[in-house]
Amino acid sequence: MGLYRCGQCDKEVELTMSDPIRCPFCGFKILFKTRQKVVKRVKAR
């Protein structure tokens, strides 16, 4: 499961494991994974 953004219509798409990789609104097959709203810890090195 994850949040994606459609490469054509720019709508937010939520997909589960069983869903085909396809935008349900426009049928476009290229989706971009969006950044999750969690705090990311990084070492400054």
Partner 1 sequence: MEIDVLSSDDRSLRFILKDGNPSLANALRRVMTSEVPVLAIEDVEFIENSSSLYDEVLAHRLGLIPIKTDLSVLNFRDECKCESGCPSCQVEFTLKKKGPAIVYSDDLKSTSKTMKPLPGIPLVKLGKKQAIELKATAVLGTAKEHAKWQPAVVGYKYYPRITISERCTRCGDCVEACPRKILVVKKDKLTVTDEKECILCRACMDACGEEAITVEGDDKTFIYEVESTGGLEPIEIATRSCDILMGKAQELASRL
Please identify, using beta-carbon distances, which residue of 17 and 35 lies nearer to partner 1: 35
Q: Which stretch binds partner 1 (CB under 8 A): 6-14, 16-24, 33-41?
A: 33-41
The verdict on 45 binding partner 1 (CB under 8 A) reads yes
- Give the other-Cβ count within 10 Å of 11's Cβ: 13
28 CB burial (10 A radius; 0-12, 13-18, 19+): middle
The verdict on 40 binding partner 1 (CB under 8 A) reads yes
The binding site for partner 1 (CB under 8 A) comprises: 35, 39-45
